[in-house]
Amino acid sequence: MGANSLEKKSRSGFWSTVFGRCKCWPRRMSISTGSIPNQNNNNVKTSNWNARWRRSDVDQGLDGGSYVKSPPNHSMLVVVHQQNQVCKLPVESTRITTTNQRKVPKEAISISGELESMIMDYQKIKGNNSNLVRASSGNFMLYGHLGNLRQPVEGENKKEDNKVEENPEPPSPQYKALATRRDSEKLKNLGNIDYNKGNLGEALSLYEAAIAIDPFKASYRTYRSAALEASGRILEAVSECREAIRIEPRYHRAHHRLGNLYIRLGEVEKAMYHLKRAGPEADSDHIAKAKILQERINKCTEAKRLRTWNVLVKETDSAIKAGADSSPFLYAFKAEALLKLHRHQEANETLLQGPKYNDEDCIKHFGPIGNANLLVVQAKVDMALGRFDDALAAMERAVRLDSNSKEANSAMSKARALATFETIGNEHFKTSNFYDACISYGEGLAHDPRNSVLLLNRAICYSKLGQDELAIEDCTRALSVRPGYTKARLKRAHCNSKLERWEASIEDYEILKKETPNDEEVKQGLSKAQRQLKNKKTG
């Protein structure tokens, strides 16, 4: 008993020295350790700790309060004030304080000081998001999720710093869905709504977002493929269907859509392969359509082999109408046939009506040789219309893709020659050396006798030299391959006026007036020719 009494006094003196004069502590305080019976006035439920630890480690303070020593094997203590008052000790309590002008020994504050230091270090490491909340006037910290303590609200102190605009622009539905739901099915459904409304760009964005969330959903790929097809991006639509089939090899809808896409591209064998694997999605009409298209394409191939260009023009039109409306090769066949028939303007219009694919997609789908053949036809049309620089660039790309192609190398040599002679002739024309300009344009025409641009350039030089008859001949030859060549028709009308061939001049001017109704030069030329013809008849 004596030893216990001395120990109590020693402990009481120790705690009194450290905390006895802290005005923040109320006179009466009790500490709940979890094993105290429910006799407190606050009806605080506590955990049932070990009774032996409770008896040996709870001591009486000088002010009547009970204090709990730190248990050696527990990382958390709950300190509950009897009056439910929360009182924070100032930061200075962690420092060495003085009592009655005397410095308190370091040993007297070692426990509380070290604990406070550990807590402060922990908070510094964790930042401001720590869940520790001071619940009493002691040095113990509580986890906020324990007890009925008020939780700190995240971002509570940042409202003043983060000012929000009074009238922010409302986000669009698809981005709102991306920001709030991140539900791939809902994104897909929103995409379907936009697709049905014709908003293909928005639909594609939503389908892409759904694929980003769930990239292994085959149906999302087919929906995106449908939107790409509607946008005219056929080759990209094919890639999406291929990916859907790779994910789900027996996906009937993907096979059906891919089969129809191959029909549009004129690749009948691939179309038949996928239509046969489309299950209930495909019917006999699709198979019959593919067979009819195959017959048309076979006739196109035969006509090209026999070089029967009129037949080739007819059969390519039939194949396009049969469903292969997105095949670049059918349009290239037709354009090449029209060039052979010296119908340059129609050849250019044919390529303009055809599908537009970039080189990367064409190489990926048709291979480098197939893309090189398409570039050769495009370059030939460019040369025929005097776009020599474009033709040369296309030929160079074709040769890089297929260096062994004799047709590509021959066409590139021709494009270089035409571009060179046109450049030389233009330089002579700028210096008013019309005679040498005529010679240079003539050398270019030796490589391409029906080139409309070179014919017109030489006609202008002939007119400058006073040889209007030769100028009219060149203009007529240019118009024979390119009826809509306005400059050539206007030059012929001027030359006929100079030769006082008023009927021929009026005929050209009237055609030009229909094509360019607001052209003042045409109006004045027509008026003059009509007046001169009237004077000739009356005089």
Tens of pLDDT along 108-121? 444 555 555 655 66
Residue 499 lies inside a defined structural domain of this protein = yes
Residue 16 lies inside a defined structural domain of this protein = yes
pLDDT band at 206 (very low <50, low <70, confident <90, very high): very high
Q: Give yes or no for residue 382 having a pLDDT over 50.
A: yes
Question: How many structural domains compose the chain?
Answer: 3
pLDDT band at 156 (very low <50, low <70, confident <90, very high): very low
Q: How many residues does the chain have?
A: 539
Q: Are residues 9 and 102 in the same domain?
A: yes
| Least confident among 12-26, 200-214, 309-323 | 12-26
Q: Give yes or no for residue 296 having a pLDDT over 90.
A: yes
Pull the structure tokens for residue 135: 């619940």
Domain endpoint, select from 282, 304, 322: 282
What pLDDT is attached to residue 236? 95
Judge contact between 425 and 441, C-beta under 8 A: yes
pLDDT band at 535 (very low <50, low <70, confident <90, very high): confident
Q: Are residues 87 and 184 in the same domain?
A: no
| Least confident among 56-70, 185-199, 228-242, 427-441 | 56-70
Domain endpoint, select from 263, 282, 301: 282
Cα separation of 360 and 371, whole Å?
Answer: 9
Q: Give yes or no for residue 69 having a pLDDT over 90.
A: no
Q: Establish how many alpha carbons lie within 13 A of residue 58's alpha carbon, considering only the half-sphere containing its beta carbon.
A: 18
Q: Are residues 16 and 136 in the same domain?
A: yes
Q: Are residues 123 and 218 in the same domain?
A: no
Q: Give yes or no for residue 104 having a pLDDT over 70.
A: no
Would you tell me how many other CB atoms lie within 10 Å of the CB of residue 333? 24
Cα separation of 212 and 205, whole Å?
Answer: 11
pLDDT band at 238 (very low <50, low <70, confident <90, very high): very high
What pLDDT is attached to residue 60? 40
Q: Which element (helix H / strand E) includes 59?
A: strand 58-60
Q: Give yes or no for residue 270 having a pLDDT over 60.
A: yes
Q: Are residues 54 and 116 in the same domain?
A: yes
The better pLDDT of the pair 106, 386 is held by: 386
pLDDT in tens, 485-502: 999 999 999 999 999 999
What pLDDT is attached to residue 171? 53
Residue 487 lies inside a defined structural domain of this protein = yes
- Percent of the chain predicted with pLDDT > 70: 66
Residue 333 lies inside a defined structural domain of this protein = no
pLDDT in tens, 2-34: 444 444 444 444 444 444 444 444 444 444 444
What pLDDT is attached to residue 534? 85
Residue 164 lies inside a defined structural domain of this protein = no
pLDDT in tens, 123-143: 555 554 445 444 444 444 444
Burial, 433: exposed, middle or buried (Cβ in 10 Å; 0-12, 13-18, 19+)?
middle
What pLDDT is attached to residue 25? 44
What pLDDT is attached to residue 170? 55
Q: Are residues 26 and 134 in the same domain?
A: yes
Counting other chains too, the contacts that 16-21 makes at CB distance below 8 Å and 24 or more residues apart are 16/61, 16/62, 17/99, 17/104, 17/108, 18/104, 18/108, 18/109, 18/112, 19/61, 20/62, 20/63, 21/99
Burial, 145: exposed, middle or buried (Cβ in 10 Å; 0-12, 13-18, 19+)?
exposed
Q: Are residues 137 and 270 in the same domain?
A: no
Q: Are residues 10 and 136 in the same domain?
A: yes
Could you tell me the pTM of the whole model? 0.65
pLDDT band at 283 (very low <50, low <70, confident <90, very high): confident
CATH of the domain at 238: 1.25.40.10
Cα separation of 182 and 175, whole Å?
Answer: 10
Q: What is the mean pLDDT of residues 379-396?
A: 94
Residue 222: name the closest of 272, 259, 194 by CA: 259
pLDDT in tens, 160-193: 444 444 454 555 655 544 444 468 999 999 999 9
Q: Are residues 458 and 538 in the same domain?
A: yes
Residue 242 lies inside a defined structural domain of this protein = yes
What pLDDT is attached to residue 359? 87
Q: What is the mean pLDDT of the chain?
A: 77
Pull the structure tokens for residue 145: 């999720």
The better pLDDT of the pair 101, 523 is held by: 523
Bridge partners of 102, per DSSP, are 99
Q: Give yes or no for residue 40 having a pLDDT over 50.
A: no
Q: Find tokens 């619940």 and name the residue.
A: 135
Domain range holding 269?
173-282
Cα separation of 510 and 487, whole Å?
Answer: 14
Residue 477 lies inside a defined structural domain of this protein = yes
Counting other chains too, the contacts that 294-298 makes at CB distance below 8 Å and 24 or more residues apart are 294/268, 296/322, 296/324, 297/266, 297/268, 297/324, 297/330
Cα separation of 422 and 456, whole Å?
Answer: 12
What pLDDT is attached to residue 486? 94
Q: Are residues 12 and 139 in the same domain?
A: yes
Domain endpoint, select from 254, 282, 310: 282
Which residues are CB-contacts of 38 (< 8 A; sequence separation ≥ 6)? 45
pLDDT band at 279 (very low <50, low <70, confident <90, very high): confident
Q: Are residues 180 and 247 in the same domain?
A: yes
Residue 352 lies inside a defined structural domain of this protein = no
Q: Are residues 458 and 498 in the same domain?
A: yes
| Least confident among 153-162, 401-410, 504-513 | 153-162
Q: Give yes or no for residue 316 having a pLDDT over 50.
A: yes
pLDDT band at 450 (very low <50, low <70, confident <90, very high): very high
pLDDT band at 365 (very low <50, low <70, confident <90, very high): very high
